[in-house]
């Protein structure tokens, strides 16, 4: 049976769509390992996050929680209701301080301590990462003067 021109074109179109769909699926699968989720301390404690799963933890550095030991630092991040202890070895941002909005990236250890490998602090008085600002607004703790930065 001989295919008409219309049938050939439809077959080519379907083949192309199948190849593009497969390629998109492979790209998304490859990127799934690099996705890092954002949580507040309350969300971390409410979920069953596996130890060694990477995520971002955001909130405020709890007052009186900052302890330095050389380049190692321990502090607590709070969302106003729940807190989570954090350890970090390295150089903290210049604007890092207690009461400051912060986002730390890392993973939980088996004892429930967040081991951060990156710590970010807001860079001026009006900026706060959107996720942190939204979480603080939900808790009624947002004290920023403007909107959260996009």
pLDDT digits (tens, 9 = 90+) for 4-60: 999 999 999 999 999 999 999 998 888 776 666 788 898 888 888 888 888 899 888
44 and 71 fall within a common domain: yes
Q: Outline where DSSP puts E strands in 26-140.
A: 37-39, 54-61, 67-69, 72-78, 83-89, 101-108, 114-121
Q: Residue 52 class from Cβ within 10 Å (0-12 exposed, 13-18 middle, 19+ buried)?
A: exposed
| Other C-beta atoms lying within 10 Å of the C-beta of residue 135 | 24
Instruction: Tell me the pairing of strands 72-78 and 83-89.
Output: antiparallel
52 and 99 fall within a common domain: yes
56 and 108 fall within a common domain: yes
Domain of residue 43, residue span: 37-139
120 part of a folded domain: yes
Mean per-residue pLDDT over the chain, rounded = 83
Q: Residue 46 class from Cβ within 10 Å (0-12 exposed, 13-18 middle, 19+ buried)?
A: exposed
97 and 29 fall within a common domain: no
**For residue 123, is pLDDT > 80?**
no
15 and 72 fall within a common domain: no
The pLDDT score that the predictor gives to residue 132 is 66
The pLDDT score that the predictor gives to residue 125 is 45
Instruction: Tell me the pairing of strands 54-61 and 37-39.
Output: parallel
The pLDDT score that the predictor gives to residue 138 is 73
43 part of a folded domain: yes
Per-residue pLDDT, averaged over 111-122, amounts to 89
The total of structural domains in the chain comes to 2
Per-residue pLDDT, averaged over 96-102, amounts to 86
């Amino acid at each position: 049976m001989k295919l008409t021109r219309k049938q050939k074109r439809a077959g080519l179109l379907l083949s192309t769509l199948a190849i593009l769909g497969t390629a998109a699926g492979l790209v998304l699968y490859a990127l799934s390992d690099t996705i890092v989720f954002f949580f507040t301390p309350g969300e971390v404690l409410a979920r069953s996050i596996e130890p060694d799963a990477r995520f971002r933890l955001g909130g405020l550095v709890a007052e009186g929680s900052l302890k330095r030991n050389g380049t190692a630092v321990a502090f607590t991040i709070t969302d106003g209701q729940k807190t989570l202890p954090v350890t970090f070895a390295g150089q903290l941002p210049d604007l890092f301080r207690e009461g400051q909005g912060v986002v730390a990236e890392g993973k939980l250890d088996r004892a429930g301590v967040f081991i951060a490998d990156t710590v970010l602090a807001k860079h001026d008085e009006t900026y706060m990462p959107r996720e942190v600002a939204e979480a603080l607004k939900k808790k009624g703790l947002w004290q920023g003067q403007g909107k959260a930065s996009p």
